[in-house]
Structure 1
Amino acid sequence: MEKLNDIIDPQSVPQRNLYTGVKMPGIGMGTFGSDRFTAEEVANAVKGAAEVGFRLFDCASVYGNEHLIGEVFKEIMETGIKREELFITSKVWNDKHDDVIESCKKTLKDLQLDYLDVYFVHWPFPNFHGKGVSIDSRDPNAKPYIHENYMKTWRQMEQLVEMGLVKHIGTSNMTIPKLKLVLRDAKIKPAINEMELHPCFQQPELFDYLKENEIVPIGFCPIGSPTRPDRDKTENDFVDIEDPIVVKIAKAHGVHPAVICVKWAVQRGQSPIPFSIYRNEYASNLKAAVTDLLTDEEMKEMEKVDKNCRLIKGDVFLWKAGQTWEALWDVDGEITPA
């Protein structure tokens, strides 16, 4: 690959220690952009991100671009980057909870890989919605979280580890009440939980619970996802990069507020997965992880930015008319019943 002045040495990127002893990069590249960008644009961004030093790539079958990203992974490894230098994740979608193994095999074929570093259950609800759906077009077969059914899915996830198709398995879009049950009943516990994390939505209780149980958090929407789908936007949402504290700290460092969001995430201990198709932006994200760190005082000040503002509310997964999105997230500390 061409040596450019925006390249960061992957060895300089902070690492997260999984409970298995494996290390995972402390920042990665997301690949969800299908509502705004073409699959080709996303795949080209993955190629460029690898050039500047990214090694963690977060994929999913429902994004509709794994077949093109697989071509990029093939190119990347032909340049001399070894498979073991990459940390690649993917996810089983909601309509494949009963067919996890075949879903994973399809992803491996599309990504042109022999194994995944992590495979996630994308959502804990076995619905069928994919991209481009509206809140008013809920799946008539939608169901709540039913632990017995989730564990049937998890048993298949554990089989993937036993088969050598994945190195680790993980949860995503979960809550503490759900995770308590999974940890109680799992033979192989989740190594990672993927969750929404940004300065305006810090989820401190869940974050601390994961740390206590040696589960590493991957944080999506790390800068507040300004390009998220329109269906996920509401008039009450806060904009992280416009928060006065974030703006003030950004001015002190002479950078865009988005860079501060990334610095905060990496220093806090999660692995953010920002996405952009623009080289200057994703190169800047990676550089943020290794240079000009925030002070302890600034990190403490960033705690005040938290507004408990969830952006990806998941309304389309509600199973009854008249429900609000809070039912998906066990806001009362107990799993919402059917």
Structure 2
Amino acid sequence: MTECTHLTIADGSRMPSVGLGLWKIDNSQTAEMVYRAIEAGYRHIDAACDYGNEQEAGEGIRRALQEGLCMREELWVTSKLWNTYHRRAHVRPALERSLHDLGLDYLDLYLVHFPIPLKYVPIEKRYPPGWFFDTNTVNPRMELDQVPVAETWGAMEEIHREGLVRHIGVSNFGCSMIRDLLSYAATRPAVLQVESHPYLTQEKLLRFCQGQQIAYTAFSPLGAGSYVPMGTAEMSDSVLEQPLIKQLAEKYGKSPAQITLRWGVARGTAVIPKTSRIARLSENLNLFDFSLSAEETLEIDHLNRHQRYNDPGVFCEQAFGCFFPIYE
């Protein structure tokens, strides 16, 4: 089993620095991928209501636990509150559905997935609800709900106090939104999860989080790959094709993906690469038998293009009929 380093959360808890992201893993593959990941040494699983595969992820976790591959206490399992459940009354039922599907009594981390409150879609009507309010109309679209972040966060604090989640945090928030949240939060966000890779380094956001003792998790840490099938990126956008990354891969006898992930970990962030290939699991975890120099890390930093692939200010209008920028 490959050992994995950890990030220390503000309360002293340890979150594994490398996790398996479940976004866009097909339902038919999810249970096996989660089981194989735990078998390979992963102890960090990143799930979400919106991914639509939590039940299958739960099957993989359950099999791994039953076979004694690890104890539940050794796993760090994250899920996320979807946009349609931001009102206080809907937060706990949404969490309970994720817990049921994952087969767990508690989560290690529960994140507000996006700062985008949408009109409520009952769980019994459609689950996961997705982005559209009414899929039966001729032109379905997003429909916003006016829910303050403070209301949502208050409900997140309640489920934290009840012990249903060990930590709470946010995803896709920027500095201004986090600063506002910190001004009234009784329980501070433990983790921020955002898109981050060598083409989107987000140095100011990372520095701010580190100063506030908010752990930082990078989703899409390899950049464009997951977005090519969606038509929002080209293979030519891949950071893995960068000459610098290839040169370092050759120097260290590693793959371009391992160089890119090692850079992410070296910055003090957690990374949650997604893969649908079992052979890639060990490769993505095997990052700790070499180190990049400070100069090499800085060289990769300089690849930054401020290139965001997961931008609601773009995809919400294109796909869901509603212009909703959140980063500007």
Instruction: Indicate whether the TM-score tops 0.5.
Output: yes
- CA 1:293/1:185 → structure 2, altered by over 3 Å: closer, same or farther? same
1:328 is paired with a residue of what secondary structure?
coil
2:24 and 2:57 map into 1 onto residues whose CA distance is: 13
Structure 1 position 317, deviation (Å):
3.7
Structure 1 position 131, deviation (Å):
7.2
Partner of 2:32: 44
1:82 to 56, 59, 71: 71
- CA 1:329/1:233 → structure 2, altered by over 3 Å: closer, same or farther? same
Partner of 2:143: 141
1:161-176 correspondence runs (5 A): 161-176=160-175
- What are the Cα deviations for residues 168-221 of structure 1, in whole angstroms up to 9, with x where unaligned? 001000111111100111110100000001111110010100000000011000
- CA 1:211/1:232 → structure 2, altered by over 3 Å: closer, same or farther? farther
Q: Which moved more, 1:230-239 or 1:305-314?
A: 230-239
Q: Are the counterparts in 2 of residues 169 and 192 from structure 1 also a CA contact under 8 Å?
A: yes
Partner of 1:178: 177
Structure 1 position 318, deviation (Å):
5.4
Structure 1 position 227, deviation (Å):
2.6
Partner of 1:93: 82
1:130 and 1:189 map into 2 onto residues whose CA distance is: 28
- What are the Cα deviations for residues 29-68 of structure 1, in whole angstroms up to 9, with x where unaligned? 100115xxx2121221111111110000000011111111
Partner of 2:8: 17
> Unmatched 5+ residue regions in structure 2?
120-128, 134-138
Structure 1 position 228, deviation (Å):
2.7
Partner of 2:130: 130
1:111 and 1:49 map into 2 onto residues whose CA distance is: 16
Partner of 1:209: 208
Q: Are the counterparts in 1 of residues 131 and 142 from structure 2 also a CA contact under 8 Å?
A: no
- Root mean square deviation of aligned Cα: 2.4
Structure 1 position 322, deviation (Å):
9.1
Partner of 1:329: 327
Structure 1 position 244, deviation (Å):
2.1
Partner of 1:4: none
Partner of 1:296: 294
Q: Are the counterparts in 2 of residues 15 and 25 from structure 1 also a CA contact under 8 Å?
A: yes
1:1-338 correspondence runs (5 A): 7-9=1-3, 13-34=4-25, 38-80=26-68, 81-98=70-87, 99-127=90-118, 130=130, 139-142=141-144, 149-228=148-227, 230-231=229-230, 233-234=232-233, 238-288=237-287, 290-314=288-312, 315-317=314-316, 327-330=325-328
Q: Are the counterparts in 1 of residues 224 and 235 from structure 2 also a CA contact under 8 Å?
A: no
Q: Are the counterparts in 1 of residues 44 and 76 from structure 2 also a CA contact under 8 Å?
A: yes
2:237 is paired with a residue of what secondary structure?
coil
2:276 and 2:322 map into 1 onto residues whose CA distance is: 38
Q: Which amino acid aligns with 2:49?
A: S
TM-score by length of 2: 0.88
Q: Are the counterparts in 2 of residues 139 and 317 from structure 1 also a CA contact under 8 Å?
A: no
> Unmatched 5+ residue regions in structure 1?
1-6, 331-338
Q: Are the counterparts in 1 of residues 91 and 152 from structure 2 also a CA contact under 8 Å?
A: yes
1:132 and 1:280 map into 2 onto residues whose CA distance is: 36
1:251 and 1:89 map into 2 onto residues whose CA distance is: 34
Report the identity percentage. 29
Structure 1 position 310, deviation (Å):
0.7
Give the number of aligned pairs. Answer: 309
Structure 1 position 296, deviation (Å):
2.0
